Amino acid sequence: MSEELQVDPATLDGLARNLRGLSAQTEPARTYLNRWLGLSTASGRAFFEVTKSIAEVRDRLDANYAALGSLSDRSATELESTAIMYRTTDHAYAAELDRTLVGEK
């Protein structure tokens, strides 16, 4: 037998705040990344392959940070919406709906 699903909207709000904080940290991380891994090709032929590899890593990290920021922000929005839904939905109806989510009959 499944346990009854319990949702605390305040906990969802807290998680949403944490995700917003993570999202906000990605832009400074990208700035740092581009500042310290933004090498010029003027280093000379001896360092061409190293510079090329570092640029590829920088580009991949930059794209990953951008995706992380976007996903974190969108997840926070959905968590906030879910918390609002749990605060405003009729509790009897919500309990009935929750039972269907955890497989209770």
Q: Is 19 among the domain residues?
A: yes
Range of 49's domain?
9-88
Asked if the structure places residue 76 within a domain, the reply is yes
Total tally of structural domains belonging to the chain: 1
| One-letter amino acid of 64 | N
Higher-confidence position of 44 and 3: 3
The overall average pLDDT reported for the chain is: 87
DSSP 46: G
Token output for 68: 């992380």
| Structural domain contains residue 95 | no
For residue 93, is it within any domain? Answer: no
- Is 62 among the domain residues? yes
48-93, pLDDT tens digit by residue? 888 888 889 999 999 999 999 999 999 999 999 999 998 888 777 8
The single residue listed with the structure tokens 């991380």 is 29
Residue 30 lies inside a defined structural domain of this protein: yes
Highest mean pLDDT pick, 23-32, 35-44, 90-99: 23-32
| Rounded (10°) angle between helices 9-36 and 48-88 | 160
- Cα–Cα distances in angstroms (integers) from residue 56 to residues 14, 32, 62, 78, 96, in the given order: 36, 16, 10, 33, 52
